Amino acid sequence: MSSSVDLPFRSIPEMFLHRAAETPDRRAFGSPVDGDAAKAAWLTWAEVADRARALAAGLHDLGVRPEDRVAILSGTRVEWILADLGVMLAGAATTTVYPTTEPADAVFIVQDSGSRVVIAEDLVQAAKFDGASLPDLLAVVVIDGPGTLTLAALEARGREVLAADPTLIDRIVEGVRPDHLATLIYTSGTTGRPKGVELLHAGWVWQGKAQTDLGVLKGTDLQYLWLPLAHSFGKTLLCGIIHVGLPTYVDGRVDKLVDNLGIVKPTVMCAAPRVFEKVYNRVVTTARAGGGVRFKIFNWAIAVGKRASAQRLAGRPVGGLLVVQVGLADRLVFGKLRDRLGGRMRAMVSGAAPLAQEIAEFFFAAGLPIYEGYGLTETSAGSFVNPDHGPRIGTVGVAMGDLEHKLDTDGEILLRGTPVMRGYHNLPEETAAAFTEDGWFRTGDIGEFDADGYLRITDRKKDLIKTSGGKYVAPSYIEGLFKSICPYTSQAIVVGQARNFCTMLITLDPDAIAGWAAGGPLAGHSYQEIASSPEVASLVEGYIKELNGRLNRWETIKKFTVLSRDLSIEDGELTPSLKVKRRGVEHNFAGDIEKMYEGALAGR
C-alpha cells in the first residue's frame, strides 16, 4: 500500500456509513419478488444500513472480532450484500466461497482462513461442513430455510445488542484502519489447492473512488448486478456502488439475465465476455435464419454501424449520407437489439477474460458500447479500464487511479500500488514469488502500451503455446477470433504446447446450434447428436478455413474436435466467472486431444 495515496475514507464500513448518511432515502439495492423481476423490492440506503448494523452486532455477539474471518457461501443475492456489509461493520473480514465449490474445497477454505462463522445460503450449502473438523468455527448461519441460526435470527439478536449498546458499531468502525484485512478471496493455486488472496480496506476504498473518477459508474445510473459476489469483480463493483451511491438491481440467475434486462431497463451492466458472446450468437444466428434478404440487411446495418462508431471513436462527427444510413440501420436492426437489453443501456463493462475485438466492434456499431477492463483478484479486480470519454476497442484501457505500471523485459505487466494484495494467506514463499525484489506484482500477463497509455493484453504468460518447431502461439487471440467468426461457438480451446501443429477443441452454443438445426434433418435431436453429426463437422470446417486464412502459417488449426457437451463449472472446466480452466479441459478431454495427434510426428 502506498502511503502517498489520499483516500477519501479509511475503510469500507466508514465509506458505507457515509453513503447511508448522505443519501438515506435513495434506492440502494433491488431484488426480485417470488422470482419476478417486474415485482422488484427495493431497500433504501438507510434500510440497508439498519439491517447491516444489526447483523454486525449479531456477529459481534457471537464472538467475531476485528479482522476475524466470516465466510459467505451463497449465490448472488441482496442477502449476500447485507451479510458482507454486516461483516465489514463488525470490523471483520469476508472469506468468499462460491456455491459451486466442492465440499472438500469449501472445508479447506474455511479451515485455512480460520473463519469464525459461516453464512450459508441454505441447508444444502451448510451440509458441506457436516462432520468436518473446524475448531475455529463458532456458528453456521443459514439464509434460507430452517437452521440452528438463521440470518433473520442473527439480525434480531443484533437488534437486542444495539438496544443495550447503541454506539457499539460506531466504535468498532472507528477502529478499522486502511491496512486492516477486509477480504480473503480464494483463487486456484498451482498445487490444485485454492490460495487465499489478502485484500485490505485501503485497496477497496481506492477501487470505489477510481471507478467513480473514470465514469465507470455514475449516480444517475441503474445497474444490473448478476456477477458472482464471491469473485473479485463482483466485490469491486460493490465498492463502486457504495462510493457513488447508484441504485443496483441484484439477481444472480444467469439464465434469466437477457429476459430480465428488458424488464429492469438498466443503464449499466458489467459482465464476463461469455454473456456478450451469447447475445452476439443469438442475434447473428437469428438474422442468418431469417433468410437471404434479411441477412443482407443485417450485414449492411453492421457495416454502417461500424463506420459510424469508427468516426465517433476517432472523435469525428457522423455526417452526410452516413447519418441517414445510421437512422435506417437503427430502425431495421439495432433499435430492436437495444430494446431487448432494456433500451436504456449507457455502457457495459467486460472483464475477467479477453473479449474478442470483432464482438466489441459489433456492440459499438449497435450503439451498445462495451468498455473492456483488466485486473486480477490480486489487484482487487480493477487495474485498467476504458474510460467512457475515450474508449479504444482492442485495448483494456488506461490505468485506474494512481496505479503504477510497467513492462518487464519479457513483456510481462508489472503493477504496484494501493489495490495490490498484501499477500497469499499462509503462503510466504508463493507471496515472495509473486513480487519482484523491488515490490512490483507479477501479473503473469503479457501486454503492450500505446503512446497514450492504453494497454493491450497479448496473452497470458503461462498460457503461451510453444510448438515443437519453436514458434510461440497466443491461444486467446485465436480463440477470440474464432468466436467472432463462428456464431455457433460456445467455447474454443487451442491445443499445441510442444506439439508440431495446433488443434482446437470446440463446444457449441446449445441455443444457436438448435436454431441452425431447426427445419432440417437434425431438428429435435439432442445436442450430442447434433454436435457429432457430419453436417456440423462440415459447418465448423468452413469456419476453421476462414479462421486459418487470417492466421500465420504456424498458428493455423490443422485439426479440430467438436465436443459432445459444453464446458461446465461443475466439471472443473470453467471458473464461476466463466473463464476457461485450460488444465481442467485438457485433462477431461485428453482422449479427444490424443486422437487429433494420432499418426503425427513425435515432436512433443
Q: Are residues 446 and 512 in the same domain?
A: no
Work out how many domains the chain is built from and give that number.
Answer: 3
- Give the DSSP per-residue string, 297-326: HHHHHHHHHHHHHHHHHTT----THHHHHH
Q: Provide the H-helix boundaries in 91-150.
A: 103-113, 123-126
Work out the pLDDT band at 74, boundaries 50, 70, 90. Answer: very high
Q: Are residue 456 and residue 483 in the same domain, yes or no?
A: no
Which range, of 1-5, 185-189, 286-290, 406-410, averages the lowest pLDDT? 1-5
**Domain C-terminal end among 420, 444, 461:** 461
- In the three-class reduction of DSSP (H, G, I as helix; E, B as strand; rest coil), residue 513 is classed as helix
From residue 511, give the alpha-carbon distance in Å to each of 285, 307, 475, 530, 534: 10, 30, 25, 12, 19
CB atoms within 10 A of CB 102: 12
Q: Is residue 495 situated within a structural domain?
A: yes
pLDDT over threshold 80, residue 410: yes
Mean pLDDT, residues 194-220 taken together: 93
| Cβ–Cβ under 8 Å, residues 158 and 181 | no
The radius of gyration of the chain from alpha carbons, rounded to an integer in Å, stands at 25
Classify residue 449: in a domain, yes or no: yes
Residues 330 and 457 occupy one common structural domain: yes
At 190 the pLDDT is 39
| One domain for residues 442 and 503 | no
In a domain, 185, yes or no: yes
382-398 pLDDT tens trace: 999 998 888 999 999 99
Sequence-distant (≥ 6) Cβ neighbours of residue 178 within 8 angstroms: 1, 7, 10, 11, 200, 201, 202, 205
Residue 2 has pLDDT above 70, yes or no: no
Residue 73 within a domain: yes
- Look at 53-67, 191-205, 365-379, 408-422 and tell me which has the smallest mean pLDDT: 191-205
Residues 524 and 425 in one domain: no
Q: CA 190 to CA 192: how far, in whole Å? A: 5
Pairing of the two strands 248-250 and 194-200: unpaired
> And the C-alpha cell for 28?
440502494
Both 322 and 376 in a single domain? yes
What is the domain-level CATH number for residue 290? 3.40.50.12780
Question: What pLDDT was estimated at residue 393?
Answer: 93
- Position 355 confidence tier, pLDDT thresholds 50, 70, 90: confident
Residue 335 grid coordinates = 433499435
Per-residue pLDDT, 603: 42
Q: Which of 407, 435, 461 is the last residue of a domain?
A: 461
* pLDDT per residue as tens digits for the range 213-225: 888 899 999 999 9
46-55, 103-112, 269-278, 511-520: which is most confident: 46-55
- Per residue, what are the HEC states of 348-406? EEECCCCCCHHHHHHHHHCCCCEEEEECCHHHCCCCEECCCCCCCCCCCCEECCCCEEE
The conformation of residue 296, written as its DSSP 8-state character, comes to: H
Decide: 43 and 121 in contact? Cβ < 8 Å.
Answer: no
Which CATH number is 553's domain given?
A: 3.30.300.30
**Residue 423 near residue 431, CB atoms below 8 Å:** yes
User: Residue 522 falls within a domain, yes or no?
Assistant: yes
Q: Has residue 3 got a pLDDT over 50? A: no
Residues 443, 521 share a domain: no
Do 440 and 475 have their domain in common? no
Residues with Cβ within 8 Å of residue 136, at least 6 apart in sequence: 111, 114, 115, 116
Of 259, 239, 236, 260, nearest to 249 (Cα)?
260
Q: How large a percentage of the chain has pLDDT more than 70?
A: 98
Task: Give the lowest-confidence range in 283-297, 483-497, 511-525.
Answer: 283-297
CA distance 230 to 131: 24
- Cα separation of 170 and 173, whole Å? 5
470 and 446 fall within a common domain? no
Residue 555 has pLDDT above 80, yes or no: yes
Q: Span 368-386, mean pLDDT?
A: 94
pLDDT in tens, 574-593: 887 778 888 889 999 999 99
C-alpha–C-alpha distance, residues 370 and 487, integer Å: 19
Cβ–Cβ < 8 Å for 487, 362: no
Domain residues for 583?
464-596
The pLDDT of residue 600 is 64
CB 287 within 8 A of CB 298: yes
Q: Which helix (H) or strand (E) holds 559?
A: strand 557-562
Q: What single-letter DSSP state applies at residue 478? A: H
Which CATH number fits the domain that encloses residue 122? 3.40.50.980
For 9, other C-beta atoms within 10 Å of its C-beta total 21
Residue 457 sits in the same domain as residue 471: no
| pLDDT, position 188 | 67
The answer on pLDDT for 569 being more than 90 is: no
Confidence check: pLDDT of 374 > 50: yes
CA–CA gap between residue 230 and residue 3 (Å, rounded): 28
- Report CA-CA distances (Å) from 219 to 24, 43, 120, 223: 14, 16, 32, 10
Q: Per-residue pLDDT tens for 150-159?
A: 999 999 999 9
**Boundary-marking domain end, from 428, 461, 494:** 461
Asked if the structure places residue 604 within a domain, the reply is: no
Of the given ranges (181-190, 221-230, 275-284, 485-494), which has the lowest mean pLDDT?
181-190
Structural domain contains residue 114: yes
- Considering the domain architecture, whether residues 455 and 326 belong to the same structural domain is answered as yes
DSSP 185-246: EEEE-TTSSEEEEEEEHHHHHHHHHHHHHTTSS-TT--EEE-S-TTSHHHHHHHHHHHHHT-
pLDDT mean over 76-100: 97
Once rounded to an integer, what is the mean pLDDT over residues 364-392? 93
Rounded distance, CA 226 to CA 217, Å? 16
Look-up: residue for cell 454502417?
304
Q: Is residue 441 part of a domain?
A: yes
DSSP state of 491: E
The single residue listed with the C-alpha cell 429492469 is 264
Assess whether 277 and 354 both reside in one domain: yes
